Structures are given as structure tokens and as C-alpha cells.
Amino acid sequence: MLEADFVIIGSGSAGAALAYRLSEDGKHSVIVIEYGGSDFGPLIQMPSALSFPMNMSRYDWGFSSEPEPHLGGRVLATPRGKVLGGSSSINGMVYVRGHAHDFDYWAEQGATGWSYADVLPYFKRMENSIGGEEGWRGTSGPLNTQRGPRKNPLYAAFVEAGQQAGFELTEDYNGSKQEGFGAMEQTIHGGRRWSTANAYLRPALKRQNVSLVKGLARKVVIENQRAVGVEIEARKQIQLVKARREVIVAASSINSPKLLMLSGIGPAEHLRRHGVEVIVDRPGVGQNLQDHMELYIQQESIQPITLYSVLNPFSKALIGAEWLFFKSGLGATNHFEAAAFVRSKAGIDYPDIQYHFLPAAVRYDGKAAAKLHGFQAHVGPMRSKSRGTIKLRSNDPSAKPEIRFNYMSHPDDWADFRHCIRLTREIFGQPAFDPYRGKEISPGAHVQSDEELDTFIREHAESAYHPCGTCRMGRADDPQSVVDPECRVIGVEGLRVADSSIFPRVTNGNLNAPSIMTGEKAADHILGRAPLPPSNQEPWINPRWQVSDR
């Protein structure tokens, strides 16, 4: 009989952290249900191979959006990890906590106990930060973070150009001061991807009280308004995994709402239409879907110093060999080694634009966009007002859900993106880039008017792969809330959701760090422990925010 005190669905960023913390004192048994297979092998473990796993059906669920009406009907890929470590095993390994005010906003929206003062101790507990700001960072947690070597002079040029344009510098955007240009942090350790499978799950699975069950979660089994287990399909058989205490859904912002709906928790009319018996009418399940979008602004480099030199088979083989034997060299980085967080205009008190800088002109799918030396910035607004939905396509647990992001449905998004393009051109136009700057590859110097920029945005804006918000956390009396501030599903006993689906609003930057923090903090709620004492540290806010964007 498959039975444990706690049953966790999903071994990803939050699920792995939960497994580690719930089993830590040895008093409770934990089963982790994961549909995907092993994360072993160079395509996942080698940081520079990051474009491969997110495009492989072996490691990725293969989700995509419905045609997006404001993007000319384009269908956008929505990769989610289907492997040990979940999306932390296929992501870009960029480590961003989010801005202090993101979490303060959550608390204001009804996620009491999730303000920055409340979550900072959890970020510290999970981290082992190399070179982070003293007093603001953790140094003994399971999650190793580091900065890249930044050997390519283009990284320094990007940071210097930001300063020349009048923006702030920051020594550690995960410390007291997010705003500014500086080094980017990576979840890489010893030259390997430091996913939650490596950081949390493997150490947890060494304990006697943790086991991994491979199977597809079909639904949470609920009796008398209480979750008692999870129905899974494994080896073509349907089995029940029983939970003596609680079931915790940590299956991603796409799969968690889908699972709740298949289990009878969601908008009643939608469930009935798909022949699902309604157990709790929660209209918020699958609503509030958010994401970050980005554009690649690409510039030719007149010096042959970019990664274009190594995009040939011979160089790739050498890089692969060095990584295989020594875990060093160009294979041991994700190449995202410089970053920036800036504000788009006066009157905005904390950054709402993010930059990833790359000394190459390539796409996420690994294809060279231009057959020449170039560099690029990934840029996008952080707080889009557009909202989408996750809905059931059918009541078949193996059917993919209907994903509608509604990207660019709010007029402000267009103005924000136009500003992002013009601002990037201003930064690339600074003296720091004079020794390197050739012609603009993308969008191209001919694209200037609002209409021309909008056409470029419509055709080229991509997801940054940060979907969240579909099981929103809030006050128990708010009809749009799905979970309360202790991650308990409202209306069902013994059931929680803990992953990026509970975020009331998307945070600044990449979502891996706040997802892990969610697992860390949820574990204390589940175990009935007093939360870690709140921090009294005050984050830096630009004293000029009311009068200038820099």
C-alpha cells in the first residue's frame, strides 16, 4: 500500500524543497509523485546546454498557448519541466529573488504573512550565496548561487553603458538594492546546473522516510471535504497513494489548477461542462494567469569576440569535452552574466523592466539569429496588466489544458514595450559600446515609429517562461482566492497548493527563487511551526523615484 503522512505532487522548485523540509526531522513520511524521468545526463547538467531540455518532449510537458489574439494569432510555447527537479531542471538557471515591494504587494492583496519582512528569512534559509551582500544573503542553505566569470568584455561594457546612461549600479540585486546594472546570479555549482533535484531532492531521498513514486497524478481523492490521497496512473494501472495527513499540490502554474479542477475544485459551471463532479465551487481556480514577455534586441559586434566563434561543431565538441572532464570553461555557465533592473519612468518607485545580457545574437531554441558576431539584451516589462486563464480541455487527465495568456491585451503593455526597445537602443548607443557596436540586427534601424515598433512586438515578443498566479493566495473570504495565506485550499481539509500558481502577482525577475521560497515557507505552515521571525532590514528605494527614471 502506497501511504505516507504527506503526499507531494511534483518534484519541481517548490515540491523538492517541501520534500526536504517536511522530512528533515525524521518524524514524518513523505511520498513525492513525479511523472517525468531522470535528470541525469549532460543536456540537463551542463549549464550551456540549456536550450536543449526545454525543447525536448522527454523533459518538457510540451504545452503551448491557444492562438494569442493580440499577437496576430501566434501560438507560444509554454515549457514546463517533466523531469526530476521540474522546471528547475530545464530553466535558464537565473537566480532572482524578486523585489521587496513585490512581496509587500502580496501582503496588501490578502496574502498576510508574505510581506518582504516575512519572506526574507526564508530566502536566507534556502541560500548558499557566493559573493552576495553580507547580512542580506544566506550562506548555509542547500541552494548554491554564484556569479559567472564575466570574462567577455561585453559584459563590462553593458554595465558601464548603463551607468553612462545615468542608471544606478548594484553590487547584488538580490541584496538590499535590486535597482541598477550589475552581475547576474546563477543556480550553478561546481560547473553543474544546481536544480532543486540536486539541491533538495537527492539529499531528501537518502532519508528512510522519503520515497519517490513515478506516475501521472490524475486527481486528488476527496472524501467528506477532506483530501485523503492521490489517484495516479503508473505502469498502465490506476493506484491510490494515501495521505495520512495532507496532500500538497506543487505541480506548476499550469498543472496545479488543472489537477484541482479534475478533482472537483474550481469554477462550478466549467467543471460541470466537462463532466466533473463539483466538490468546491472556487471561481478563482485557473484565473489570474500571468507571465513575463521579452524581446531580443540584437546588435552586430565589429570585434570577433562573441560566442558566434564557438557555434561550430569543432568548438562545441571542445567545450563539451572540457565540461565533461573538468566541469569548467564555456560549458559551465548559462552565459547570462550581466543584468539590470530599471524603472521605466518617474513616479514608479521600484524597477519594472528587466535585462538579461548575452554576448551572442541567438534565440532560446539555440538557433543563431544572425550569421555574424553580435550581442543582445533580453528586455521586457515586469508588471503587465494582462491576465489569462487555464481551463480544462476535457476531463481526461492526460489531455493538455487550454492555456490562454491574453498577452498584450492591456494598452499599457504596448507603451511599456516600445519604451523597452527605445531604452535598449539608448544603452547600446553609449560610449562603452563604441569599440564593439556595428549595425542593429533586430529590430533594425529602420523600425522607428510607434506603428513599426508595435508590428515588431506583435511578431517577435516571446514568453520569458514565468507563468504564475492561477491558484491565487489571498483572504479566505475573497471569492477569487484559491488558497489562504497558509496555502490551504479554501473549502477542503488536508489539501494545500504550494508553487508559483499561488503568487497573487508575478514578481520582478525569474520565478525559480520565489517558487523555492514558497516551498520552504509552506513547509513550516504544514508542520504547524511558528514562521521564522520577520526581518527588520529596509531595502533601498531610489530617492529620486518621484522625479526621474534614473
**Residue 388 belongs to domain spanning:** 3-66+77-527
Residue 432 φ/ψ, nearest 5 degrees: -60, -30
Residue 328 φ/ψ, nearest 5 degrees: -135, 180
| Three-state SS letters, 473-490 | ECCCCCCCCCECCCCEEC
How do residues 143-183 score in pLDDT, each as one tens digit? 999 999 999 999 999 999 999 999 999 999 999 999 999 99
Alpha-helix runs per DSSP H in 133-197: 153-164, 196
Q: Is residue 542 part of a domain?
A: no
* d(C-alpha 219, C-alpha 33), whole Å: 12
Percentage with pLDDT > 70 across the chain: 99
Q: Is residue 543 part of a domain?
A: no
Residue with cell 472556487: 282
Q: What is the pLDDT of residue 368?
A: 60
Residue 339 φ/ψ, nearest 5 degrees: -145, 170
Strand partners, 94: 186
Q: Work out how many domains the chain is built from and give that number.
A: 1
Overall pTM > 0.95: yes
Q: Is residue 541 part of a domain?
A: no
Q: Is residue 451 part of a domain?
A: yes
Q: Is residue 11 part of a domain?
A: yes
From residue 94, alpha-carbon distances to 298, 334, 337, 338 in Å are: 20, 8, 9, 11
Q: What is the pLDDT of residue 366?
A: 61
Q: What is the pLDDT of residue 362?
A: 85
Binding site listing: 5-34, 83, 91-94
CB 270 within 8 A of CB 30: no
- Nearest CA-CA partner of 93 in 182, 175, 189, 169: 189
| Plot region of 406 (φ>0 → left; ψ -120 to 50 → alpha; else → beta) | left
What does DSSP assign to residue 386? -
Task: Indicate if 70 belongs to the active site.
Answer: no
We report the CATH number of the domain holding residue 86 as 3.50.50.60
CB 31 within 8 A of CB 19: no
Q: Is residue 118 part of a domain?
A: yes
Binding site listing for FAD: 5-34, 83, 91-94
Q: Is 252 strand, coil or helix?
A: helix
Q: Is residue 197 part of a domain?
A: yes
Q: Is residue 475 part of a domain?
A: yes
Q: What is the pLDDT of residue 210?
A: 98
Residues 6+ apart with CB under 8 A from 415: none
The catalytically annotated residue of 101, 292, 466, 525 is: 466
Low-confidence ranges of the chain (pLDDT < 70): 364-369
